[in-house]
Amino acid sequence: MSPRKRPSTEEIVQELKERRSQEVIEVDEKTQQFVVVSVGEDWFGFPGSQIREILSHSPVTAVPGVPPIFLGVINVRGDLESVIDLARVLGLERHANPRQERILIGHAAGLSSGILVDTVFDIIDVPMSRISDSVKIADRQKAHYFTGEFEFRSRPVVVIDAGHLFTDLLRPA
Amino acid sequence: MADTSFETLIFRIENSYFGLYIDQVEAMSMVDAIPHGVPRLDVLLGYEPVASLNHPHLIRVRCRSGRSADVLVEASAGILEFKSRDLRGLPSLLDGHLRSGPIWAAALVEDRIVFLLDLERLPMEPSCEA
């Protein structure tokens, strides 16, 4: 058996050019923006079109007489926004680190609210071909919040529709 | 449009502030002994009664029916005057949950959120209802 021929410098350069041209084709693909967050061990993606801003954890004023998933209200430049605890909504355990906690201000289905998450990792553009429609979720009651899944940093990220979330929370139980 | 002023008696419960229109307050006095059967405002609002009131005050509320009803509060945090432009709508997600409760609006005064109360929506004793 003859030993494998080592590629020449020209061949390596050619291969790199080919790879780069393939990447350009992928970048040209239609993408969707997501805000990638974590709650406990799980990672979630909110469509960028539904998130108006990301705030550091500001003091939340508690409101009596509302379900415990509502942490209270915050003052966002003179307007009051409710704040929901995403961990409680999804029945997950938070990894509370106040320095990393963020409040996303979400707008969807004509409603708005702050959403407390453990961490915001990034805002990324995901090629549509990499977003799967199917989500492996055991809790069927929560499944209708989830509209897809993609991979980011080798981890599954579940897409959450803030519109479904807000509409559900609108109704007193 | 005229910017009307309102005077409210402010109470602090945990980290939240609550306001009661002065016009609704018939009398307020400190009490040495807790009168039997008079409910605490914090309990009526749904808070856990974690401790006894340090400086219990009895508020006699003037009801729209002409009757009076009593409620116990911790000492007032003072009187706050605010303008109608300080009034804020309740957040959309909370509106349905609060509709039948005592909080009817909120005001933002000097970066402080104050929930405005209509005590007639609480089960005070005796009741405001005739």
pLDDT in tens, A125-149: 999 999 998 777 656 667 788 999 9
Helix H or strand E segment including A86: helix A86-90
Q: Which residue of B has its CA nearest to A168?
A: B93
Question: Considering the entire predicted model, what is its pTM?
Answer: 0.82
Summarised one tens digit per residue, pLDDT across range A154-168 is 999 999 999 999 999
Token pair of A121 as six digits:
């990792």
Q: Closest approach of chain A CAs to the CA of B104, in angstroms?
A: 12
Yes or no, beta carbons of B98 and A66 under 8 Å apart: yes
A80 and B91 in contact by Cβ < 8 A? yes
* Span B48-79, pLDDT tens digits: 876 777 888 898 888 888 888 888 888 888 89
What CA–CA distance (Å, rounded) separates B2 from A166? 36
pLDDT at A158: 94
**Chain B contacts of A170, Cβ < 8 Å?**
92-93, 96
Contact B93, A170 (CB under 8 A): yes
Task: Please state the rounded mean pLDDT for residues B10-39.
Answer: 88
Please name the residue that has the structure tokens 């808070």.
B47
**A11: which residues sit within 8 A by CB, 6+ positions away?**
none
Q: Is B15 on the interface with A (CB under 8 A)?
A: yes
Instruction: Name the burial class of residue A135, with classes exposed (0-12), middle (13-18) and buried (19+) by CB atoms within 10 angstroms of its CB.
Output: middle
Question: In the A/B pair of chains, how many CB contacts fall below 8 A?
Answer: 74
* CB of B16 less than 8 A from some CB of A: yes
ipTM score here?
0.83
